[in-house]
Amino acid sequence: MSKRLEGKTVVVTGASSGIGKATAVEFARTSPKNLKLILTARRIDTLKQIAEEIKKEVGEGVKVLPVQLDVSKPEQVRNFIPNLPKEFQEIDVLVNNAGLVKGVDKAGDIKEEDIETMMLTNVNGLINMTQACLQVFRKRGESGQGDIINIGSIAGRMGYPGGSIYCATKAAVRTFTEAIRMELIATRIRVMEIDPGQVETEFSVVRFGGDKAKADKVYEGVTPLTPDDIAETVVFAAGRPENVVIADMLVYPNHQG
Ligand code: NDP
């Protein structure tokens, strides 16, 4: 249990499934003392269910707030913090996890709407959430304070056939993260990136437009990471002493590395 996280307010985007859900649960399990946890995604009913599960497991030490938020919609992101109950507005940690891949088409064939969805969610959504939270972080103390943890991907470090747009979005996450880390050097605002390899989540189901059989084929014969593997890494990073920054971490399943 990291004492550093006690009493903090943490927001996780894309907390309705996979890595985001596991990360929210891991924060709650690891630092239950006065933690405030904001779960965001589009599926509000799922978030409410997860909030109940967390409360049942860890008790009253953690306050959980499910909030419907589509990060690809700038006006929703703009209104996100002002619309929070006052006690949740002082965000300390932002986990920018919401993201998706649509389709497996070659670049010449990919639908315009799928390109837009990936760009607006994975890139614009992450940037807009970062800006919103930076406004809170920069007001704190003399040089600001807070943590931004971005979920990138191995896809941001290498392109592969059928993944051109997704890879481009994650490469954008990578360079954006690097640039703001440099901008914020010598402040108390930490900027970190965790890049997963293959993790078994709903990610593939979304990629194949809901075709579960095709999605399951992706994991045949291999042992992918579990969402918990990444969740534990995120909470580890957030829990490091303030002078330590896990700037950049690539987490592979053994078959992939
Ligand atoms: P999931 O599909 O299980 O989870 C994605 C989450 O993002 C869901 O909670 C979904 O919630 C949310 N989301 C999608 N679009 C939006 C949106 N517009 N606004 C708000 N929330 C949104 O996949 P993973 O858990 O695997 O993915 C999490 C992150 O990890 C992504 O950024 C992904 O790119 C990255 N990643 C995943 C890998 C993998 O192999 N699984 C590998 C490397 C990186 P809802 O639908 O309710 O909005």
159 to 162, 188, 192: CA distances (angstroms): 9, 34, 22
Residue 118: its pLDDT value, please? 98
Choose among 212, 151, 175: nearest CA to 14: 151
Torsion region of 214: left, alpha or beta (phi above 0 gives left; psi -120 to 50 gives alpha): alpha
Question: Is 170 an active-site residue?
Answer: yes
Residue 33: its pLDDT value, please? 87
The verdict on the CB of residue 203 being under 6 Å from ligand 1 is yes
Catalytic residue among 8, 170, 212, 214: 170
| pLDDT beneath 50, residues of the chain | none
Superfamily of chain region 3-251: NAD(P)-binding Rossmann-like Domain (3.40.50.720)
pTM above 0.90, yes or no: yes
Which is the closest atom of ligand 1 to the Cα of 230? 30
